[in-house]
Structures are given as structure tokens and as C-alpha cells.
Structure 1
Amino acid sequence: MGHRFLTSLVPQKNQRVAGRPILEALRGLTWLQWMHFISGYIAWTADAIDFFSVSLSVTRLQQQFNRKTQDITTAITLTLLLRTAGAIIFGCLSDRFGRKWPLIVNLILISAIELGSGFVQTFKQFLGVRSLFGIAMGGVWGIASSNALENLPVEVRGLASGVLQQAYAVGYLIAALINLYLVPHVSAGWRSLFWTASGISLFAAVLRALLPESSVFIRVKANRVKDQTPLSRSRIFMHETKEMLKRHWLLCVYAILLMSGLNFLAHGSQDLYPTYLQVSKGLSDHNATVATIIGNCGAIA
């Protein structure tokens, strides 16, 4: 079984992309398909702005709370640690109630938590709101990606998924621009970055509220047995999950290891990059932010 799984990952010479060419498929997209993709893209961008607000504010937070760098990065650790809880909670809600309202609620929660992050007065308060943010943050990617991709033709999903993923770099880039051009020039300082991020998340929620539910989810919902109770649907969900794990356990293990490695590389290099440039390389806050912007332009490219 393992051998068949590994060899299936290698493209065969006689394989070709099925269906229409990508450009033809792109031209055939409806405005609603475009808007669903854009709303998911903006939601993922907003999520990145919210997360990297801490990365760009480490030195200022040190001064605010009179703490060492490793103490401040505890907030980043708690955020990442609690993402799994948010992914499970909002993933289940999305499969049960749709792509629209769970994502709207998720983004509104993030907006409120990010707003609160800018009002904290103690380090414990800061850790508390960033922990809550971790739960909310974990819910965004799954719903936003489903919202953006599932209504697209198969031919463009590969390209679209790559563009969607780089919304995270776009979010980091926007956060760096806010940190460069707004934060040093307002009396609120680092708090203004969190408040601006809160507004962008709220905008993402409003945009999603203006669009209808995913047509794919509507079709799935229509195929459900109408007399099923919430309890019976939960039992069916658990049963289907068990069957999926029995059949695709090796693929699940592979995906977990793959994403673990990618996340290790990503967060190990990105989250403290501005602080690394300032502390180890002696760059000013301004120049460290500029270098972060350049790096994210490369990630987007």
C-alpha cells in the first residue's frame, strides 16, 4: 500500500491536464465565482495582517511591558498552539452551517480580539487576547479556502490555490507598510497597527456578508436527508470521518508531516525576522521593516 501511495505521487508521462485550458476556464468564470475567490483572498490577507502585527511590534512591546524578547514571543507561541482548536471548531461549523456565516462570525471575532489587543494594559492581558486570537485565527484558512476555491472549475484550482496562499504574504506586506508609514507617526504607536488590522478584518466580514452562500454547499445541503436531527448528523459526520481515516490514513499522515515541515520553515523564519534584523544585524526599525517588505514581495512573486 505504501509503495502504491508513493508511486502515485510521481506524474506519469501519459498524464495530461484534463478539460479546458486554464486561460479559457478563467475567461469563463462568472462575477460571483470571482467575488467568492476575492472574499476568501481578503479574509486570508486580513488574517495574516492580524497575526504579523505582533511580529512587527516585538521591540515596541518589549518597551511597553518591560519584558524580554522570549517573553513577548510567548504570545506568538500561544497563538500558533491554539490554531488547531479553532480549525476543528470552525471547520465543523462550516461543514454544518455553510461557508458564509461561520466565516463572517470568525472574522468579526478576530476584528474584536485585534481591537482588544490594542487596548491591553498588562502583559497578562496581552497573552490572554492573543490566545483567543489563536482560536479564531485557526478557523480562517479552512473556510476561506473552501469559500474561494470550491466553486471554481477544476482546471483553475491549482493556479488559484497558489495565488490564494500568497495572500498570507500580502497580509504581512500590508502590515509592514502600516508599521512603516503609520505607527511611527501617531501617538498610539504600536496600538494603531492592531486597530487598523481590526478594521480590515471587519471589512472582510462585511464583504463576505454581501455575497450568497457557496453553491457547492447548497447542493450538498440539498442532498441531505431532511428528517435528520442534529444528533444524527453528528453521528454521520463522525462515522464518515472514521471511514475517511481508515481509507486515507497514510495520505493524512503525509499531509500532516508535509504541513508541519512547511510551517516549521515558515514561522521559524518569518515570525521573528524583523526582530532578528534589529538585534543581530543592527538594522533600525525602519530598515528592518523595509527588508520585510522586500522579502514578502519575493514571496508573492
Structure 2
Amino acid sequence: MDQGSTRTARLDRLPYTRQHHKLLIGSGIGWALDAMDVGLISFVMAALAVEWHLGRSTLSLIASIGFVGMAIGASLGGLLADRYGRRQVFAMTLLVYGLATGAAALSWSVAALLVFRFVVGLGLGAELPVASTLVSEFAPTRIRGRMVVFLEAFWALGWILAALIGYFIIPSFASGWRWALAVGILPTLYALVVRFGLPESVRFLEAKGRDAEAEASVRAFETSPPVLRGVKVPRFQPTGSDDIEAATIWSRPLARRTAALWVVWFGINLSYYGAFTWLPTLLIEQGFTLPRSFGYTLLITVAQIPGYLAAAWLIEVWGRRVTLAVFLAGSALAAVTFGLVATGEGALVVWQVLAAGMALSFFNLGAWGALYAIGPELYPTRLRGTGTGAAAAFGRIASIIAPLLVPVLLGWGGQAYGFVVTFSVFGAAFLIAAAAAFLLPEQRGRLID
């Protein structure tokens, strides 16, 4: 069959249609609910430190256990998505972590909370690579990176929602953290929308021989009216796919990109979750009240949105690799700066803390957007879910280590230099990830098979 008549080529030629918009919004809401659940634990930790009188070591376990689940979930989610479909696994993950989060609100001890948070992590980790793969496989080539970055931008909305819940609910009620976790049951309801409202990947359907369903899905996108006609999208001639024949993600054609992608995932996870999971608690330890700490964290979190928007524009102008490296380098500078200024509560220091924290949010989350755009483009269809899921799973190892590492680094630095040491380590991790980004192939304008 001529390449111009294949279903994937027909999808690649389409403009941005209402069906694309429905897919992006539908997947994005699930993404935001994931972020809300991840973000809530940072505020719950700060509240438990006061209510249950927990020390740093116990709090670090509460943070890390969820990432243990996420590491396992990310790997399993990718494998299951390649076998059973992107949409099915997406819906299943929402059910898993939504029910577990609601159950966590009933926790009667630290041990019970740890068990529930582990199960939550299984669902959270499985969702992210599956959702990004689904969106990337429907996106037209020339705007594929931009669509995935916009999907990742929903993470900021979810984290802001978590900050709002933390700011308004947790300090307002006795055991307010329980009410905050109870809100986390919402994803179970949204699982029905994903299962019956979103399309299954055409590439997956073809790989499974379900050609009639694949054809119906493509025609639904072809007959959907275009939207955003006034938006200018960079135009370039697609250069074709890599046509890679590989049995595994570690076969010779893919080994270098897999190794580089894993390094980036490890570095960005270590720094992001080390910093933001502990942020409200660290601000409290610096003398800020619980509501004030949550308020400052909310302001810092809002800066994630312009970071995503900037990355979404630049990724189709500069390309994936340069955009990712620049935002990672900016994250490194912001992390070191934050460590230097976050040492007290004077008026000048507060402004410095907010400015450095917002810069860290801006660059860090822009880098996340670029990373999620790059991952699915690196692998052929039959390995795409596995490849993105395995990279995410390896990154989750860093997210497990990060909350445990923070108390150690703070101890090394002592009262005077704890923040400097901690955030300098995060800055170094960002720089290593930026260097690894240049080992990834540039996929802007290339067809994915």
C-alpha cells in the first residue's frame, strides 16, 4: 500500500480538529487528577508533621513509598498498554489510584497510610506514560510535540488544585488532611469518561489486526471540523520515520537513546520530587506558619503554567532536544539560587524565595513538558508503551530516593548551609540531565511509524 494512503499517514496530514481537542482535554483532565494526587501528599506531610508529631525520617518514608508504587506502575502500565490498549489501561489506572486515595483518608496509623500510598503510586505511575503515548499517536506530525507539552501542562493545573486544597481545606478543619485526601476519589468517576469517551490508538488497533475499528477511528478524525484556524504552526517537510527494526528497547538501534532518556528521567525526577515534595514542610521549618507556607507554595506552583506554555511554543521552533536542555539548565540555575536565598523570613528573603521558587517551577515544568513530548517519538509502535514506561519507571527510582535524600542533605549542610547543599545537589542532577538530552535524536518533523 502506498504510504500516502495508510491510516497513520492520513492522521499525520490532518489539521488540529475537534476530535484532537476532545482527546487532549479528555486525557489532560486525567493527567491533572494524577498531578493533584501527587501534589496533595506534600501538603499532607506538612500537616502530619504537626498533628502526628512526625520527624523527617518518617515523613520521607510517606513521600517515598508512593514513588515505589509509581516505579512499578510505570513499567507495568507500559507493558499492559502495548498488550491491552492505551485507553483500557488509562481508565484502569484512574480507578486504582482514585479508590486508594479515598481509602488513605481513613488511615489510622503511619503503617496504614504507607500501604494506601503504595497502591496509589501503582495507579499514578501507570497512567502518565500511557496517556502521553495515546496523545502522541493521534497528533499530526507538525504539532505532535506541542500537543504532548499541552497535555503535560495539565500537570500544573492539577498541582495548583492540590495547593488550593492544601491552602483552604487542610488548615480549616481538624484533621483537614483527611478531607484533602477524600477529594482524591474523584478520578474513579472520571475513569468512565476515559473508557467510553476517548478513542483507542489507531496504531495499537492495527497492530492487533482490528482494522475495522482503526478505520472508523481515522474517519472520525478526518470528518471532524478543524479548530484554532488563526493559530500559526511552524511548517516543515516531514523527513520520514527511522524505520527501526529492533526486538527490544536495548537492541542496538535503540540502546543509545534509551540510555540517554533514562538518565534524563532520573535527573529530573530526583530534583523535582526532592524539591517540591518537601517544599511546604521545609518552609515551615524555616519559621513560616502552616497557612503561610501553603500560600507561598501555591504562588510558586502557579509559575508552572507559563513554563509549559513557553516550552510548547519553543519545542516546534528550537526542536525537542535544545528545548529540553535549555529548560533543564535553567532549572539547575534556579535550584542553586533557591538554596542560597531560602535561609530566613525577612521581607527581602521572602521575595527572593518566591522569585527563585517561581523560576524553578517555570524551568522545571517546561522541561517536563519537553521530556514527555520526546519519549513516545523515540520508539516504534510495538515498543512505544514499553519504552516510555520503562524510562518513567527508571526515573521513579530517583523519585523514591529523593524524599529520603533530603533529610540527609539537610543534615550534612547543618542549620546554616542545609538548603545550599540540598539544592546544589538538585542543580547538579539537572545539569547531568541537560547533557544527556543532547544524546537524544532530534525528532521534530519526523513521522512515527
Q: Is the counterpart of residue 285 in structure 1 residue 290 in structure 2? A: yes
Q: Contact 2:62–2:117 at 8 Å: present in 1 too?
A: yes
Question: What is the CA distance between 1:151 and its match in structure 2?
Answer: 0.5
Question: What is the CA distance between 1:206 and its match in structure 2?
Answer: 2.4
Q: Contact 2:78–2:126 at 8 Å: present in 1 too?
A: yes
The residue that corresponds to 1:50 in the other structure is 37
Letter of the structure 2 residue corresponding to residue 91 of structure 1: G
Structure-2 separation of matches of 1:241 and 1:249: 11
Q: Contact 1:65–1:123 at 8 Å: present in 2 too?
A: no
Structure-1 separation of matches of 2:168 and 2:249: 52
Q: Is the counterpart of residue 171 in structure 1 residue 158 in structure 2? A: yes
The residue that corresponds to 1:246 in the other structure is 252
The residue that corresponds to 1:10 in the other structure is none
**Which stretch of structure 1 is more off in the superposition, 118-127 or 289-298?**
289-298
Partner secondary structure for residue 248 of structure 2: helix
Task: Work out the number of aligned pairs and report it.
Answer: 261
Percent identity reads 21
The residue that corresponds to 1:118 in the other structure is 105
The residue that corresponds to 2:167 in the other structure is 180
Q: Is the counterpart of residue 269 in structure 1 residue 275 in structure 2? A: yes
Letter of the structure 2 residue corresponding to residue 298 of structure 1: A
Structure-1 separation of matches of 2:247 and 2:275: 34
Question: What is the CA distance between 1:69 and its match in structure 2?
Answer: 2.7
Which of these residues, 191, 200, 204, is aligned with residue 190 of structure 2? 204
User: Which runs of structure 1 show a deviation greater than 4 angstroms over 4 or more consecutive aligned residues?
Assistant: none
Q: Is the counterpart of residue 258 in structure 1 residue 245 in structure 2? A: no
Q: Contact 1:41–1:148 at 8 Å: present in 2 too?
A: no
Q: Contact 1:37–1:147 at 8 Å: present in 2 too?
A: no
Question: What is the CA distance between 1:240 and its match in structure 2?
Answer: 5.3
The residue that corresponds to 1:85 in the other structure is 72
The residue that corresponds to 1:75 in the other structure is 62
Structure-1 separation of matches of 2:134 and 2:190: 13
Q: Contact 1:145–1:164 at 8 Å: present in 2 too?
A: yes
Q: Contact 1:104–1:206 at 8 Å: present in 2 too?
A: yes
Structure-2 separation of matches of 1:30 and 1:215: 16
Partner secondary structure for residue 150 of structure 1: helix
The residue that corresponds to 1:221 in the other structure is 208
Structure-2 separation of matches of 1:187 and 1:60: 10
Partner secondary structure for residue 242 of structure 1: coil
Gap change, CA 1:250 and 1:130, over 3 Å in 2: same
Gap change, CA 1:241 and 1:44, over 3 Å in 2: farther
**Which string of whole-angstrom CA distances, capped at 9 and with x for unpartnered residues, describes residues 35-85 of structure 1?**
221122111111111112110121321244332132022121122233221
Structure-2 separation of matches of 1:243 and 1:295: 37
Question: What is the CA distance between 1:257 and its match in structure 2?
Answer: 0.7
Gap change, CA 1:153 and 1:73, over 3 Å in 2: same
Which of these residues, 304, 312, 333, is aligned with residue 299 of structure 1? 304
Question: What is the CA distance between 1:205 and its match in structure 2?
Answer: 1.3
Structure-2 separation of matches of 1:244 and 1:125: 39
Gap change, CA 1:92 and 1:291, over 3 Å in 2: same
Q: Contact 2:246–2:253 at 8 Å: present in 1 too?
A: no
Partner secondary structure for residue 272 of structure 1: helix
Partner secondary structure for residue 166 of structure 2: helix
Structure-2 separation of matches of 1:243 and 1:185: 49
Letter of the structure 2 residue corresponding to residue 297 of structure 1: V
The residue that corresponds to 2:81 in the other structure is 94
**Which string of whole-angstrom CA distances, capped at 9 and with x for unpartnered residues, describes residues 146-205 of structure 1?**
222221101111112222223222211100111122333345511111111221x12431
Tell me the TM-score normalized by structure 1: 0.80
Structure-1 separation of matches of 2:250 and 2:44: 42
Letter of the structure 1 residue corresponding to residue 195 of structure 2: A
Letter of the structure 1 residue corresponding to residue 200 of structure 2: E
**Which stretch of structure 1 is more off in the superposition, 211-220 or 66-75?**
211-220
Structure-1 separation of matches of 2:288 and 2:174: 23
Which of these residues, 101, 121, 125, is aligned with residue 138 of structure 1? 125
The residue that corresponds to 2:181 in the other structure is 194
**Which stretch of structure 1 is more off in the superposition, 65-74 or 89-98?**
65-74
Letter of the structure 1 residue corresponding to residue 62 of structure 2: A
Question: What is the CA distance between 1:241 and its match in structure 2?
Answer: 4.2
Letter of the structure 1 residue corresponding to residue 37 of structure 2: D
Equivalent residue runs for 1:57-72 within 5 Å: 57-72=44-59
